[in-house]
Amino acid sequence: MEEYLAWATIGLALVIVELLTGTFYLLVLGIAAFGSALAAWLGQGFNVQVILGAVVAVAGCYLVHLYRVKNAAQQMSPVDAGQPATFESWVDRGARLARVRYRGASWDAVVDGDAAPESGATLYVLAANGNTLKVSPRRPG
């Protein structure tokens, strides 16, 4: 198989997988592979193809990262934000780790601020990080 066809096939596969994920990073890698395919089609050596692909990939990923950081405030808020949870007990008061009841199950939580809730107090979910909630006694605005 010609080198340019191999690069183009890799690029097409990455773009197709990107359509399933929606992160834009695989799209950048697909474009980088297409750039390498162009270099191969123009008769450039394998070293030039790889370097061109790497430069396009690094630059593109950096630009996507900057875009995502810049627009983070416009991103949709987490689904759980603002939902009430019931304080159960402290796991480690010094580290602000607690157990809360949320959606009918007991969750690990990090209590935001200096509040010291008692058992049964209502807290509000600020965010979810994996299976740990960040909660606060104040409802997020």
CATH code (residue 125): 2.40.50.140
Within a domain: residue 141? no
Question: How many structural domains is the chain composed of?
Answer: 2
Consecutive H or E run containing 117? none
User: What integer pLDDT is reported at residue 34 of this predicted model?
Assistant: 97
> 47 lies in which domain range?
3-74
76 has a pLDDT exceeding 60: no
Specify the pLDDT at position 77.
64
53 with 104, same domain: the answer is no
Report pTM.
Answer: 0.57
Give whichever of 45-59, 71-85, 121-135 has the largest mean pLDDT. 45-59
| Domain termination residue (choose one: 74, 103, 124) | 74
More confident residue, 65 or 76: 65
Could you give the angle at which helices 3-21 and 25-41 cross, rounded to 10 degrees?
Answer: 170
Same domain? 47 vs 9: yes
Quote the longest CA-to-CA distance of the chain: 72
12 with 48, same domain? yes
CB atoms within 10 A of CB 104: 5
Assigned domain for 56 exists: yes
Q: Per-residue pLDDT for 99 more than 60? A: yes
Q: Are residues 8 and 26 in the same domain?
A: yes
Answer yes or no: do 94 and 66 share one domain.
no
For the segment 100-123, the average pLDDT, to the nearest whole number, is 90
Tracing tokens 């689904």 back to the chain, one arrives at 79
